[in-house]
Amino acid sequence: MRADRARGPAPFALVAALLAAATILPSSADAKRRFVPKEHRTIQAAIDAAAPGDTVWVAAGTYHGTITMKKPLTLFGDGGPDSTILDGGDSTRVLHVEGVKGGSVIGFGIRRGKAPAGGGAYLLRDSSFMFVACTFTRNWESAVAAWESYGIAVTDCRFEENQGSAIQFNHSRGYITQSQFTRNTGNGGGAVALNQSEVIGTFRRCTFDENRATKTVGGAVFADSSRFVMADCSFTGNSSTVAGGAIAGVGRSHMSISRSRFRENRAPQGGALHSDASLFLVGLSVFDRNQATAGGAAIGMVGRIDANINPILRNNTFYKNTTNGSGGTVFAVKTSPEIEKNIFVVEGKEQLAVAGLESSPLYTCNLIHDPSGIALGALPSTDTFVGDPLFCGAAEGNFDLRDLSPALRAPCGPIGARKQGCSTFQLQPSR
């Protein structure tokens, strides 16, 4: 549990309290709460009877069938997502939302929906619609699919074992924050697939574990002609059958990634990240033991978005990312990335920090360490440092630096993703 949550009510409990209070405020005098099943036997009956701005308050239980919403309402699950369930029974879509501006779904478990698109929730030409504190489980052909929708928000939700990508944005824009994606699968982007779409603001504080792309690139996140900015996310054990075990961008996508962690992701090319004719900016991130068959063990890049616009890798830490044969932690083809102030820990005679074809990377002030002691060959630039970065505990996943680390004392400034986190020596009290 994060410390900021520990100090106050759980998000779902807080939302419930705010909704209950809202009905007694003067500004909400015209809005009503409609109770299911106390006043209306079904959720659909309550929606049909409700006026725009009303809240449909649903008691704990399991509710079946396709629910259709075409007016701005709040659909609230009183028992929370573990007890208030919307179930498609593996035969029908769970929720259809169309042309709604200002609606929300809060506190539901949405499961076992099945449809050609959006088995869990399908949104068409909607805006300012929110999913908060919901759990999406085992929906087929995506848990949430948005088409020509703008301002779709997903926050504090869980997505588990959905097929056809957990979230699909098609010609849409939306927010994705503080959500968990576990064991979802898709052709590309097992967790999130973006097609000519944009994640607005910052894609923040999300976790992606064991998601998989079965036919193309991007095990967890796939962007095609799309844009996103990502920060404070973690990717563990995601995979692709083609490239980009965690994230992939194609078709002139714009991707900016910072303060994130990539651990043990895998793919034939680009074990963690893959970029094809797209803009890639990666900083202050840790790449820990990602794997590729060949090419880039951590990052693979092919082409660039425009002439003279190259990917930028700045202040990252790369630790023992490997390929099956010869390769590099970073592999570039027909692009010349700017590689500045990164730590590379490589091991083995066939593992290089950076490799590529038809590429002339610009190196500035990087540190390379080979704990196996095998010669690294010619250094990529005169300001490349060689030596142990002195992590506080790399084996345990702690890549903070000791106070005497050469990565902290370089004339060009700190190198790598992390700052000082421990001391080399401890003073013992005298007796």
Please state the rounded mean pLDDT for residues 83-109: 97
At 215, list the tokens.
């036919």
Top pLDDT among 325 and 128 is at 128
Top pLDDT among 305 and 227 is at 227
288 burial type by CB count under 10 A (0-12 exposed, 13-18 middle, 19+ buried): buried
Q: What is the pLDDT of residue 16?
A: 53
Which residues does residue 127 pair with via DSSP β-bridges, in sequence order?
Answer: 101, 150
* Bond before 37 cis per omega within 30 degrees: yes
Q: How far apart are CA 17 and CA 22, in angstroms?
A: 9
Q: In this structure, is the dihedral angle defined by the CA atoms of residues 427, 396, 155 and 189, taken in order, positive or negative?
A: positive
Q: Which helix (H) or strand (E) holds 185?
A: strand 185-186
Q: How far apart are CA 88 and CA 387, in angstroms?
A: 57
Encode pLDDT of 142-194 as tens digits: 999 999 999 999 999 999 999 999 999 999 999 999 999 999 999 999 999 99
**Number of other CB atoms surrounding residue 228 within 10 Å:** 24
Encode pLDDT of 214-269 as tens digits: 999 999 999 999 999 999 999 999 999 999 999 999 999 999 999 999 999 999 99
Q: How far apart are CA 269 and CA 130, in angstroms?
A: 36
Q: What is the pLDDT of residue 12?
A: 59
Q: What are phi and psi of 322, to 5 degrees?
A: -135, 155
Q: Are 416 and 343 in contact (CB under 8 A)?
A: yes
Q: What percent of the chain has pLDDT over 90?
A: 81
Encode pLDDT of 381-391 as tens digits: 888 999 999 99
Q: How far apart are CA 273 and CA 338, in angstroms?
A: 16
Q: How far apart are CA 57 and CA 179, in angstroms?
A: 24
Top pLDDT among 324 and 425 is at 324
Residue found by looking up tokens 């091991």 in the block: 347
Lowest mean pLDDT among 8-12, 57-61, 366-370: 8-12
Top pLDDT among 26 and 417 is at 417
Strands 221-224, 198-199: pairing kind: unpaired
Encode pLDDT of 156-169 as tens digits: 999 999 999 999 99
Q: What is the pLDDT of residue 426?
A: 67
Please state the rounded mean pLDDT for residues 263-291: 97
CB hemisphere CA count around 422 (13 angstroms): 14
Q: How far apart are CA 254 and CA 288, in angstroms?
A: 24
Which residues does residue 386 pair with via DSSP β-bridges, in sequence order?
Answer: 368
Torsion angle, alpha carbons of 206, 210, 214, 219, to 10: 40
Contacts (Cβ under 8 Å, ≥6 apart) of 415: 315, 341, 342, 343, 365, 366, 367, 385, 389, 407, 408
